[in-house]
Amino acid sequence: MEDSKKWINLALWCVIVCLGIYIIFKGMDVMKNTSTEVRTYSAIQYIGKNLDQMAVKTYMPSFLYPLQENEQTSSLEAFVVDRLFETVPLYKFVKLNSSYETDIEDEATYERILMAEHGEDSVMTSSGESTTAEAQETQLNQETSDTTEGETLPETQQEEQASAVPIAPIKDIGDITLEKLNDFDYLLNNFYTVDKMTTINSSQLNIESLMGNDLSITKDPSVPQILIYHTHSQEEFIDSIPGDPSTSIVGVGDYLTSLLRDQYGYNVIHHTGVYDLVDGVLDRDYAYTLAGEGAAQILREHPSIEVVIDLHRDGFENKKFVTDINGKPTARVMLFNGLSRTTSNGDISYLPNPYISENLSFSFQLQLKAAQNYPGLMRNIYLRGLRYNLHLKPRTLLIESGTQLNTVQEQKNAMEPLAEMLNQILSGT
């Protein structure tokens, strides 16, 4: 009896080994006889003819759909990912969301920003050498991989949007005239840098809508009206003291708060919550989601708040942006708008922002004030495809001041003209 069991086990193992060898050699034969360009597709065609592939045909049919004539698949992995996108909608959602919380500051973004800098303002290297940024800007509307934000945030209370008024008078500023600003191409190419993942047209970006929103508020120091917070509270500068928040972006936020409060009479909440540390380790994967929830909670607790500012410093390898304002070395400032729109898929329906028009007006009116009063202070407004919590209020700003190579004092110097211009817009002067 025992001998029979041994022979049966041996026979079964022989069958398994033979099948394994057959499968290996058959697979090698298929791959060997298939050219590199069509290997993936031909292999899948071959497998589809076999009985064991009927399960794939039944449960995941899109893996066997013919490729389009103009579709090129560089690897098996790319092909499988493409098919997963079409076959498993949840996979697409998770895949896209995984990139939402990556830091704004990425290498490709910096290249576009640097190329879009205007004039002769210095772009300093870490060694102190000065270079001149190229005075050109190109709207980049090339196709790119979809990227979306994380989970939608709790909705804040409904409020009336800033009322539309006739276009405010615009004084000619050097060669910037109202006639030129009415030209969409001129407006776009001289005031904006457009990330390749998004697109915008003249129906959204025109001087009538940008200047037609009245962003002034009725000042009431008895209640909070401005919220300043930091999605990335751990951002520091070249002379920051590790562990000392007063020398980080939080300290710069303290200074902006004191200017708006003491010099201009606003009641300001400076929220110093930390959203980019997890168990004491820098982690920005979910910083925007967490910061958005924190800011939304503050807005629920203080419904009188009308202005929301997310203050950052930019990050650019071996670069700092600095100019001279009133005889002081001053970090240059970039305003940032998210459009909730991707180039390839259009509007992101599950990340609505009813205040895009007001957001764009707020940043542009600041930009125009700077061009008039502090030329060289502002870099081009950066337009990108996500939302970045700009849906919290009509008057919401995401500000990138300088880079990690600016000094703390240069950053604080930038807050002085910024506070002045904010007061001019909010007071309607």
pLDDT of residue 429: 86
Higher pLDDT, 386 or 105: 386
Nearest to 238 by CA among 248, 229, 251, 246: 248
Look at 250 and 1; give whichever has higher pLDDT. 250
Cβ(43)–Cβ(31) below 8 Å? yes
**Do the bridges between strand 319-325 and strand 122-125 make them parallel or antiparallel, or are there none, so unpaired?**
antiparallel
**Quick check: 73 pLDDT over 80?**
no
Residue of 206, 225, 195, 236 whose CA lies nearest to 338: 195
Name the residue with higher pLDDT: 216 or 112.
216
* Predicted local confidence at residue 346, as pLDDT: 93
Grade residue 371 by pLDDT with cuts at 50, 70 and 90.
Answer: very high
- What pLDDT, on a 0 to 100 scale, did the predictor assign at position 24? 73
Taking only Cα atoms into account, the Rg of the chain, rounded to an integer number of angstroms, comes to: 28
Q: Which helix (H) or strand (E) holds 401?
A: strand 395-401
Range of lowest pLDDT (2-11, 229-238, 396-405): 2-11
Per the model's pLDDT, the better-predicted residue between 136 and 292 turns out to be 292
Task: Provide the pLDDT for residue 15.
Answer: 77
At residue 103, what is the residue type? D
| Helix, strand, coil tally for the chain in percent (to 5) | 40, 15, 45
233: closest CA among 194, 262, 273? 273
Tokens of 421: 């211009």
**Average confidence score pLDDT of the chain:** 76
Give the per-residue pLDDT at 196.
Answer: 92
Where is average pLDDT lowest: 39-53, 127-141, 249-263, 302-316?
Answer: 127-141
The answer to whether the beta carbons of residues 266 and 260 sit under 8 Å apart is yes
CB distance 358 to 395 below 8 Å = yes
Which of the four pLDDT bands, split at 50, 70 and 90, describes residue 119? Answer: very low
Q: Under 8 Å CB-to-CB from 70, ≥6 apart: which residues?
A: none
Q: What is the mean pLDDT of residues 392-407?
A: 97
Considering 71-75, 87-91, 119-123, the range whose residues carry the highest mean pLDDT is: 87-91
pLDDT surpassing 70 at residue 76: no
Whether 293 and 153 have beta carbons less than 8 Å apart is answered as yes
- pLDDT of 21 over the 60 cut: yes
- Residue 257: in which H helix or E strand, if any? helix 249-258
pLDDT bucket at 83, cuts 50 / 70 / 90: low
Between 68 and 297, whose confidence is greater? 297
- Identify the sign of the CA torsion 262, 263, 265, 269: negative
Report how far residue 103's alpha carbon sits from residue 10's, in angstroms, rounded to the nearest whole number: 58
Contacts of 227 (CB under 8 A, 6+ apart): 268, 269, 271, 295, 298, 299, 302, 305, 307, 308, 309
pTM of the model: 0.65
Average pLDDT over residues 341-356: 93
**Each residue of 150-192: pLDDT tens digit?**
333 333 333 333 333 344 555 556 678 888 999 999 999 999 9
Share of the chain above pLDDT 70, in %: 64
Task: Flag whether pLDDT at 261 surpasses 80.
Answer: yes
Long-range (24+ apart) CB contacts under 8 A made by 168-174 are: 168/211, 168/212, 170/207, 170/211, 170/368, 171/372, 173/368, 173/371, 173/372, 174/375
Distance CA 61, CA 57 (A): 5
Question: What is the model's pLDDT at position 61?
Answer: 52
Share of residues in the chain with pLDDT > 90 (%):
56
> What residues form DSSP beta bridges with 403?
none
**65 or 221, which is more confident:** 221
Least confident of 116-125, 209-218, 318-327, 400-409: 116-125
Tokens at residue 399, please?
């500000």
DSSP string, 93-131: HHHHHTTTTS-S--HHHHHHHHHT--TT-EEEETTS-EE
pLDDT of res. 5: 66
